[in-house]
Amino acid sequence: MKKFLVLGVLFLLPILAYLFFSSGVNHFAKLPILTNQVKDVNHFQTNQDSAVSFQDKISIVAFFGNDPDDLKGNTFNLDQKILEKFYQFKDFQFVIVLPEDARPQAQKFIKDFSAVTNSGYWKMVYGTPKEVSEVFNSFQTNLQLDENLQTPYVFIIDKDENLRGRDTDEDTGMLYGYDSRSVSELNNKMNDDVKVILAEYRLALKKYNKKEEK
């Protein structure tokens, strides 16, 4: 009996060790940087008293184009599956990049959503069509804006203005942006990735605080 017990332990121990360390790697892994130093929107017009910037913020960035109403369903998906879970984090923001001619439509868009979501947390920024395209192109993705400067994909930009995503996604290989039309993709991929980047910064902050205490 003792022999079988010892053999069982010897057999199971390496498997348990592998599972422990592999889960640890996944849990504490950083979300890959896909593009360094994207173009900031701090020179865009806003509805706020101060400029909006990607610097020092974890930003979910959307390009809603000339007619935001086209993406109402997508925005509802995004709000329910991602945004409402993370609004409480001080360094988290949702930035909607728009051409300046879309300002009236954008105000109506926010008003329509105000009854069902925290649309007051949304940060709208307005630039010329050229400026909007320049910001999007700086992400260096395999995606494109349509003729209305719009895309259903949303993006994660970190505090250092880097585009984050997946470089080994099981479906697409490189995952630059998350399809707001797909509840499954938002719920299963983007939700996990936002959690990872928030955990990454919390861990970095804890390490910094410990150093300060010494």
> What is the chain's mean pLDDT, rounded?
86
Q: What is the pLDDT of residues 131-147, one digit of tens each?
A: 999 999 999 999 999 99
Confidence label for 16 from pLDDT (cuts 50, 70 and 90): very low
Confidence label for 81 from pLDDT (cuts 50, 70 and 90): very high
Q: Who contacts 125 (Cβ-Cβ below 8 Å, separation ≥6)?
A: 41, 44, 45, 46, 52, 95, 96, 97, 98
Q: Which CATH number does the domain 30-213 belong to among 1.10.8.100, 3.40.30.10, 1.10.10.10, 3.30.565.10?
A: 3.40.30.10
Residue 27 has pLDDT above 70, yes or no: no
Question: Worst-scoring range by mean pLDDT, 106-110, 174-178, 203-207?
Answer: 203-207
Residue 91 has pLDDT above 70, yes or no: yes
* Mean pLDDT computed over 178-184: 97
Question: Worst-scoring range by mean pLDDT, 57-66, 72-81, 109-118, 201-210?
Answer: 201-210
Residue 96: closest CA among 86, 74, 116: 74
d(CA 36, CA 38): 6
d(CA 129, CA 134): 9
Please tell me what DSSP assigns to residue 181.
T
Residue 90 has pLDDT above 70, yes or no: yes
Confidence label for 21 from pLDDT (cuts 50, 70 and 90): very low
User: Among all chains, which residue has been given the structure tokens 């970190």?
Assistant: 158
Q: What is the pLDDT of residues 198-213, one digit of tens each?
A: 999 888 666 656 555 5
How far is residue 181 from each of residues 73, 76, 113, measured CA to CA in Å?
8, 10, 17
Query: Domain limits of the chain?
Result: 30-213
Residue 164's DSSP bridge partners are: 33, 156
Residue with more model confidence, 84 or 20: 84
User: Among all chains, which residue has been given the structure tokens 């979300």?
Assistant: 31
Residue 48: closest CA among 132, 123, 100: 123
Confidence label for 58 from pLDDT (cuts 50, 70 and 90): very high
Global pTM value: 0.83
Residue 17 has pLDDT above 50, yes or no: no
User: Among all chains, which residue has been given the structure tokens 């892994």?
Assistant: 29
Two tokens, residue 138: 């700086």
Q: What is the pLDDT of residues 38-54, one digit of tens each?
A: 999 999 999 877 899 99
* Mean pLDDT computed over 113-130: 90
- The fraction of the chain above a pLDDT of 70, given in percent, is 82
Q: What's the residue count for the chain?
A: 214
* Mean pLDDT computed over 46-72: 93
